Amino acid sequence: MSVDDTRDLQVEIENPVDVYAFEIKLAFESSVIQISDANPDLPGIQVYLGSLFTGQQHFVATNHVDNEARTIDFAVALLGSAEPVSAGGDLITMTVRADSAGTSPLAFTHILLANRDAETITADSTDGTISVETSTTAPPTATSTVTDTATPTSTATAPTTPTSTMTPTATKTPTNTTTLTQTPTATPTTVSPSLNQVLVPLVMKNHVRP
């Protein structure tokens, strides 16, 4: 990413088994990135619910971002007869804005997965890293122009009549213009976070307790 860029990042889960609820807390460096609000109609700053629970009956218990404290806290549970999640996908989507050059972690500080019976499901996690580069503009165009003009004139006159006059004129005007333009390209950095494995991309290797 470059300064002033925005990008959507996902927290993903791999190989989940019967996940009915989860809570995820993340930490980041607010001097490098900020989290943009997913719902301006509500007070505070929120992230988006990922695709795995979207479309099912659910209850969002916590959805809170604190850019000053550099924390994200998101908790949600399915309701009623909704089917537990047993396929990988996105748990959270967040819009990240790059504020200044540097590196920010996107690190898990808390992960909780539970099944329909409120039993804890163990999970491994993989943190992510976001790198932000200074915005660059193309250097000024360099132009080199060479112009060479020669106009010799020779006149010869005999002392007696008849008079002979020779006036050859040679003009040579080559013009060579070279233009160099170089545009550096900032390379975006992808972020890989993890749940049952949970990643940033959140990947979590799901281990069901006996």
Q: 10 in a domain, yes or no?
A: yes
* 127 Cα distance to chain centroid: 17
- In order along its 210 residues, the chain shows pLDDT tens digits of 999 999 999 999 999 999 999 999 999 999 999 999 999 999 999 999 999 999 999 999 999 999 999 999 999 999 999 999 999 999 999 999 999 999 999 999 999 999 999 999 999 999 999 999 987 654 444 443 434 444 444 444 444 444 444 444 444 444 444 333 443 434 333 333 444 666 665 444 444 333
Cβ distance 35 to 17 under 8 Å?
no
- Helix or strand holding residue 88 (H, E): none
Q: 153 in a domain, yes or no?
A: no
Q: 54 in a domain, yes or no?
A: yes
- Residue 81, domain CATH: 2.60.40.680
Cβ distance 66 to 43 under 8 Å?
no
Domain range for 39 is: 6-135+190-207
Q: 21 in a domain, yes or no?
A: yes
* Torsion of the alpha carbons at 66, 68, 71 and 75, rounded to the nearest 10: -10
Number of domains in the chain: 1
Match 């999970």 to its residue by tokens. Answer: 123
Match 């047993």 to its residue by tokens. Answer: 86
